[in-house]
Chain A
Amino acid sequence: MTPEESQRRRKRSIAIATVLFALVTIFYVLTIAKLGPQVLNRPI
């Protein structure tokens, strides 16, 4: 693999990691937004 190809692969890996992190954030924020205050209401 040439240095240029290696750099391209690294950039793609970073982009995939960013997208995965964004997805986790989306699901977290969405859960809080949809449940609202009920997110704290957990019967023991």
Chain B
Amino acid sequence: MTSVSNSLSAAAEPQVLSPVGGEVSDFFALLKPRVMILVIFTALVGMVVSNVHIQPVVGSISLLMIAVGAGASGCLNMWWDADIDAVMTRTAKRPIPDGRIRPDEALAFGIVLSVGSVLVLGLASNWVAAGLLAFTIVFYAVVYSMWLKRATPQNIVIGGAAGALPPMVGQAAVTGTIGVESLVLFMIIFIWTPPHFWALALIKSADYAKAGIPMMPNVAGPDSTRRQIIGYSMLLFPLGLAPVALGFGGWLYAITALLGGLGMLAFSVHVFRNREGEPERKAAMGMFGFSILHLFLMFAALLAEQSLGLFRAVSL
């Protein structure tokens, strides 16, 4: 414990901090651009499954603000987690632990973008969407980053709600309300998050242990984590088909969700069977990569069906 505390406090020490502040690209990196792209994508799907006319300007500005809000919460997360980011190889080169941006700069940047994105989204679309975006930011930055992440192995299970909310914000932005469509999309991302993240946590458990983060493989052990990955993949399979049952997912989506769901189950069993050395690492990385592809293809199928006129209803 002492060594962890020492390494954390040493890592929190500022390194090369110029009074002028960081580069523009460093500030952009604080927004977690890859996460922002995923947020834009899932929020857009939340909009198009609503099946209402979307005013292009209002829709585009709403999407931009949802992305900025997500980036702001990522920035606040990096500000809060700078100490543990510094001791993990995956995150040590982030702008704050690497000494390229001062923590106070990142905090100010994150707060300004959070408040700005919520206000502009409220003015552009409606205050239901703005309220949901504000809730998402607070949930990710405060509930997940400041509380759950260092407190419980269920951190990414509960915290996954923040990553699952963008489709609901998207739907609220164009309809003013939350419909069953975005609720189902929320549940799909929510249940998808644990097997996705724990696959990575299995092979990065030494990193998480060094940073003192109670990830599931570190607390419950790798075997229990592997069983839970199978459990969540089994839950995800029928959930992935819910859009078909509810009538907003057609044939293209049905085939994508069916094959992808089977793929997730197959990868989770593969992870369960390969528990040592290089095969373990390959299986976990395979699961991690496939889970991203699975979610992307399901949402892309919904987007293609709704926006390219490819929707063909499945008769049940």
Contacts and interface: CB of A to CB of B under 8 A. Distances in A.
B18 interface: yes
Contacts of B124: 26, 30
B21 interface: yes
Interface residues of A, number: 14
Interface string A1-42: 100010011011001000000010011011001100000000
B55 A5 contact: no
A11 B24 contact: yes
B275 to A, nearest CB: 48
Contacts of B22: 8
Given A26-B120, A30-B123, A33-B55, A9 B20 contact: yes
A33 B20 contact: no
B316 interface: no
A2 to B, nearest CB: 9
Contact of A33 (B23, B24, B57): B57
Contact of A12 (B24, B57, B61, B120): B24
Contacts of B27: 15
A4 to B, nearest CB: 9
Interface string B26-49: 010000000000000000000000
B58 interface: yes
Does more than half of chain A's interface fall in helix, strand or loop, or is it mixed? Answer: helix
Interface residues of B, number: 15
Contact of A30 (B18, B21, B57): B57
Nearest to B124: A30
Contacts of B20: 1, 5, 8-9
Interface of A: 1, 5, 8-9, 11-12, 15, 23, 26-27, 29-30, 33-34
* Nearest 9 pairs of A and B residues by beta carbon: A33-B57, A5-B20, A15-B24, A9-B20, A11-B24, A30-B124, A8-B20, A29-B57, A26-B61
22 contacts: A1-B20, A5-B20, A8-B20, A8-B21, A8-B22, A8-B23, A9-B20, A9-B21, A11-B23, A11-B24, A12-B23, A12-B24, A15-B24, A15-B27, A23-B120, A26-B120, A26-B124, A29-B61, A30-B57, A30-B61, A33-B57, A34-B58
